[in-house]
Amino acid sequence: MNHKEIINHVLKSPNPKVKLAITDIDGVLRGKYINKEKFQSALEGGFGFCSVVFGWDSSDALYNNSSPVAGWHNGYKDHIAEIDLSSYRQVPWDDEVSFFLADFSQSNHQACPRTLLKKIAHQAENMGFQALFSQEFEWFNFKETNQSIYNKPPSELQPLSNGMFGYSLLKLQQNHDYLNDLYNLLLQFNVPLEGLHTETGPGVLEAAIYYTEIIESADRASLFKAATKEIALKHGIMPTFMAKISPDLPGSSGHVHQSLSDGKKNLFFDANETHCMSPLMQSYLAGQMKVLPELLPMIAPTVNSYKRLVEGMWAPTIMNWGIDNRTTTFRVINNSEKAMRIEARAPGADANPYLAMAALLAAGLYGIKHNLSLDTKAIAGNGYQDDNGERLAPNLWQATQKMKTSEIACELLGEEFINHFSATREWEWQEYSKSVSDWEYKRYFEII
């Protein structure tokens, strides 16, 4: 439908309201219902959204160290958000209410993740590229509610299924009501899945979202996480997209697949080159290899993210690449011209899709602009034993300090964004540092 048809469809809908959402710095949807008269007004001049959505953390605690983007100094005034009509959907589990995403691209708001991704995608378009991306998620599911999880320790939470059974048709059948709803309702919500299966771990599922142009891909990924939580509610299930819930189990990934097209063909494929990797693809990958360590908090944004990035747990620890190698940070998939792509394996399920994709695309474009050579060879064996690659920062604080002082990060994403985002990650680390963990109690309570 074109924009006029979308507006008419919304106004003629029997549902009297419209649902709007923006995405905050942590990738959390923040939104509200509005009536149709307000919707029409917002189409003409935007609508006010309190700037506090970029001034508080995921627990609604106000940052006390953030940039001028949001704070008491400006009274947390409203910023004008614009509805993106191209994001139109109806929510099949919510009375088919009309749904739209909004952002702050008209005002170029420095803290808006969707606005940032639009800017990077526009750079790619100006270079003649269409960025085609997709994201896949692993996540744990529990037979719990948001009330029950506060009455028991994590070790007593009841998983959706027991045991370690990846790719299990039996486990799919045992939970078919939930999984059928998930697959079918997401499709109706225009978040189509390529596949859905069980992964190794109690109650773990993995979903691959169908690839498309990068803005729509990030929309789908962001909405997938929010929709999964809402659909699970009616089945008495609570999903979690934490990167790591147990030291004994693999973490939950959020791998990002990426390629560039000219609108007709895959520009990453060249049958005459080694591994069929075109020179353009090699420069793109070289840019990511060079820049990503300085943008790591954008794909590993929480304290918990770095507990997933450990050796032997299906997550990378060293900046390297390989052909169909799941121990490296970048896995090149070269099965065919159509399938030729790069899988970035560092992002976890906790990453904000808009920021993860913005970082990856910006880094790749940097490599193309500077005609970087892919100097490192593909890792053929165990990527964890690579002595030549740069090790990823071991925690959020160190990763943030590297990004905060990076000239390349400021060049690619803007100094205002880097200052604000770095401040939010420092806040996250400081809040973590004030906490007292169960590990500390068990280790020190009696003995010390």
Structure confidence at residue 106 as a pLDDT band (50, 70, 90): confident
Domain CATH code at residue 328: 3.30.590.10
pLDDT in tens, 360-394: 999 999 999 999 999 999 999 999 999 899 999 99
Mean pLDDT, range 253-266, rounded to an integer: 97
- Among 58-72, 339-353, 420-434, the least confident range: 58-72
- For residue 315, what are its two tokens? 């997550």
Structure confidence at residue 68 as a pLDDT band (50, 70, 90): low
The answer on pLDDT for 108 being more than 90 is no
Polymer length in residues for the chain = 448
Mean pLDDT, range 260-279, rounded to an integer: 97
Residue 427 resides in a domain: no
Consecutive H or E run containing 154: none
Residue 419 resides in a domain: no
Tell whether 402 and 303 lie within a shared domain.
Answer: yes
The answer on pLDDT for 83 being more than 90 is yes
**What pLDDT was estimated at residue 326?**
97
Mean pLDDT, range 224-234, rounded to an integer: 97
Tell whether 222 and 98 lie within a shared domain.
Answer: no
**What pLDDT was estimated at residue 256?**
98
Residue 439 resides in a domain: no
**Counting beta carbons within 10 angstroms of the beta carbon of residue 120, is it exposed (0 to 12), middle (13 to 18) or buried (19 or more)?**
buried
The share of the chain scoring above pLDDT 90, in percent, equals: 89
Residue 36: domain span: 3-109
Residue 421 resides in a domain: no
Phi and psi at 430, nearest 5°, equal -65, -40
- For residue 217, what are its two tokens? 């891909």
187 vs 95: CA distance, rounded Å:
16
**What pLDDT was estimated at residue 371?**
98
How many folded domains does the chain comprise? Answer: 2
Tell whether 371 and 282 lie within a shared domain.
Answer: yes
Among the candidates 109, 139, 160, a domain finishes at 109
Can you give the pTM of this predicted structure? 0.97
Structure confidence at residue 67 as a pLDDT band (50, 70, 90): low
Domain CATH code at residue 49: 3.10.20.70
Structure confidence at residue 150 as a pLDDT band (50, 70, 90): confident
The answer on pLDDT for 274 being more than 70 is yes
Tell whether 10 and 65 lie within a shared domain.
Answer: yes
The residues, ordered by sequence, that sit 6+ positions from 418 with a Cβ below 8 Å of its Cβ are: 403, 404, 406, 409, 410
The answer on pLDDT for 66 being more than 70 is no
Tell whether 167 and 37 lie within a shared domain.
Answer: no
3-state secondary structure 49-96: EEHHHHCECCCCCECCCCCCCCCHHHCCCEEEEEEEEEEEEEECCCCC
Tell whether 59 and 142 lie within a shared domain.
Answer: no
Tell whether 82 and 129 lie within a shared domain.
Answer: no
pLDDT in tens, 397-416: 999 999 999 999 999 999 99
Residue 340 resides in a domain: yes
Tell whether 19 and 129 lie within a shared domain.
Answer: no
Residue 442 resides in a domain: no
Tell whether 11 and 129 lie within a shared domain.
Answer: no
Tell whether 256 and 338 lie within a shared domain.
Answer: yes
Among the candidates 80, 109, 138, a domain finishes at 109
Structure confidence at residue 23 as a pLDDT band (50, 70, 90): very high
Tell whether 48 and 186 lie within a shared domain.
Answer: no
390 vs 300: CA distance, rounded Å:
16
The dihedral built from the CA positions of residue 301, 305, 309 and 315, taken in this order, carries a sign that is negative
**What pLDDT was estimated at residue 349?**
98
The count of other CB atoms within 10 Å of the CB of residue 145 is 13
Residue 405 resides in a domain: yes
Structure confidence at residue 76 as a pLDDT band (50, 70, 90): confident
DSSP count for the chain of H helices, then E strands: 13, 16
Residue type, 160: L
Indicate the average pLDDT of the chain: 95
336 vs 341: CA distance, rounded Å:
9
Structure confidence at residue 152 as a pLDDT band (50, 70, 90): confident
Report which of residues 78 and 330 the model is more confident about. 330
399 vs 297: CA distance, rounded Å:
6
pLDDT in tens, 168-192: 999 999 999 999 999 999 999 999 9
Tell whether 96 and 221 lie within a shared domain.
Answer: no
Residue 437 resides in a domain: no
